[in-house]
Structure 1
C-alpha cells in the first residue's frame, strides 16, 4: 500500500462531534451522505480525510489505505484472499473508486483502493500556492493532515504480521514485554515512520480503537491547541509532552463521542534508510515513561472505543 487515506469514525453524538472536528480542530466539510459527513484537513490531497458517521456507539468502522497503482491493489487483494481475510468488492465512497474490503486478524475493517478524486477547492478555499490542496482555514487548531491510526488488539503480533506480510508494511519500532510478547508495533508503508499502530488491549477485547491522529505544522500549534481545548471544554487526557517512541510531540483529547484523538508534531518522522533496523524497546525502558519523564497514565491502556462494560 502507499499510505493511509482516511478513516470512518463512529459517534453517538453526531452534532457535537461535528462541531469538534470543524470548529475546534479546523477541518472543512466536503459533503454528506445519509448519516455521514465528509471532512478534510487543509493539506490532504484527496476528497476527505475523515468520514464521521452517526451511530449508537463510538469506535472506528473502517480504515482506508490507498494502493500505489491498480496493479499493486490487485496484488494486495490476492494476498488478502490467500490469507483468508477478504470480504469483497464494493463501489466505494464518494471520491473513491472500486474498493476492496478486508479485516485484520483482530477484526478491524480495512478498505483498499486505487482510484481517487483529487480535491478541487471552491474559489473561497483556493490556496495562493498551487502546490497546496486548499487554503489554510484559519479556524480552530487548523490540523494539517491525517497522520496515523492506533488500533487496540487482543494480540499485537498477528496483526502486525498481517500489515507486514499481506499489505506490504514494515515495522519501524516495537515494545517487547518481559514475557517475550510484543506489546505494541509501529508500521509504515513508504517514508513515513508509521501509518498504523497496534497496541495490546489490556481488556482482551478485539476490534477496538485506541486513537486517530492529526499532524500540526509546529509544536507551538499543539501548545495553542491545549488552550483552545480548554476554552471549548474538551477533555485533555495527557500532554503536551514528547513520546520516547518515534519522538512525537503529542497531546491527547477525547472528542464528544468518546473517541481519543491525538495531535502530533511532526507526526511520523521520515525513514530514508531502505534497510531500517526495527527499534525494540523493553518493558523496563518503557516504565521510565515518556521522553521527558512523564509517566504513561493508566487510561492509556484501558480507554478505547467502543467502550466495554
Structure 2
C-alpha cells in the first residue's frame, strides 16, 4: 500500500450558482448568520464567523442553481507545486488562473466527473474590525448572534456518475485517505459512495453515486454549528422563515454527523450540522466499508434515507 499523500490542508471555498441572488444572499446572511466580506459584479463573498479566510462561499448569479467550482487549500507552496505536477500528468489539468478576491493564483482542473476544481495556497486571512472583534483572541471574529450562527465551512458533497474513477483520482493524484465507503457488497466492492479525509476531521469531501447517471452535479455544502442542540434550533429557525426542510434533524450512521438538510431559495441543498463526533488520529486507519444491505437499515436511529437524497442535485435535468 502506498503511503498517503498529505498535501491538501482543507476545503477552501465553494462557488454556488443561484438564479435568485438577492434571496440566496438573505438566506446566508439573515438565516445562516454569515457575513458578506466583498461584492464584485454578480458575485457576493461570504464567511462564517470562525472561518479564517476571506470567504468560504461565493454566491454568483446564474440562470440555474449548481456549483461553478470548489477549491482546496494546500499545506504549503511546495505542496501546491507537487500536486500541480501530479495533475499535469493527467488529462484533467486546465492551467493557472490569476486567483480571485481573497486568494492568490490557483491551478484549475476538472474531476473525472467534470467538477471544476482549484488548488491554491496564498490566501488572505480575515482581519476583523472593531465591530466584529471577538473577546476570544483564538476566534476569527465575534459570535454574530444572528440566525443559525454557523461557525465554519465543514465539507462538500458531490454527485458522480463514476464514483470509482473519482475515488482513484482523488487518492492517487490529490491525496488524503478514504475514511468510509458504501459498496454494493463485500465481494465486488463496487463503490457507491466515498468519504475523503485530508486532515484530522473525518471528511472534507464526500462523493456519492448519481442515480440519474448525470455528471458533474452538486449535492450539498455543509456549515458546522457548535452543538446538536443548535441543529435543532436551526430547524425551528428554518420552519419559522419558510425555508424548505428536506430531512432531519437526525444522525447519520456514516460519520455520525448530526444533520439538517434544507434548500436555500436558489434551489441548492445546504446542510447545517454538528460534525465533531468523529476525529481520526489513527496513523494507520483502515477504511470502514458499508454494504447496500446494511445501509437499507436507514440512518442511525432507523429513519430511512429520503429518496430525493439520491436524485436531487443541481442542476436538475429539464423535463
Give the TM-score, by structure 1 length.
0.98
SS at match of 2:247: strand
Which residue in 1 is equivalent to 2:120? 113
Q: Which residue of 1 aligns with 2:90?
A: 83
Q: How far 1:182 moved relative to its partner? A: 0.5
Q: Deviations over 1:52-105 (max 9, x none)?
A: 000011111111100110010000001111012111101111110111101110
Structure 2 unaligned spans of 5+: 1-7
| 1:1-309 matched pairs, under 5 angstroms | 1-178=8-185, 180-266=189-275, 269-309=278-318
Deviation of 1:180 after TM superposition, in Å, equals 4.0
> Does the Cα contact within 8 Å between 1:192 and 1:268 map onto a contact in 2?
no
**Count of aligned pairs between the two proteins:** 309
Residues 193 and 268, structure 1, Cα contact 8 Å, conserved in 2? no
Give the whole-Å Cα distance in 2 for the aligned partners of 1:5 and 1:228: 27
Matched residue of 1:274: which SS?
A: coil
Contact 1:243 1:291 (C-alpha < 8 Å) held by counterparts: yes
Give every structure 1 segment of 4 or more consecutive aligned residues whose post-TM-superposition deviation is greater than 6 Å. none
Q: In 2, Cα distance between the equivalents of 1:148 and 1:253?
A: 15
**Could you say what the CA RMSD is over the residues aligned between the two structures, in angstroms?**
1.0
Rounded to whole Å, the distance in 1 between the matches of 2:68 and 2:161 is 17
> What's the secondary structure of 1:123's corresponding residue?
coil
Contact 1:11 1:58 in 2 (8 A): yes
List runs of 5+ in structure 1 lacking aligned partners.
none
Q: In the TM superposition, what is the alpha-carbon distance from 1:269 to its structure 2 partner?
A: 2.6
Distance 1:306 1:275 in 2: 38
Cα distance in 2 for partners of 1:236, 1:17 equals 15
* TM-score of the aligned structures, taking structure 2 as reference length: 0.95
Give, in angstroms, the shift of residue 123 of structure 1: 1.1
- Contact between 1:147 and 1:268, CA under 8 Å: does it hold in 2? no
Q: Is the 8 A contact 1:25 1:142 kept in 2?
A: yes
Deviations 1:144-182 (A, max 9, x none): 111000000001111111111111121000000146421
Helix, strand or coil at the partner of 1:157:
helix
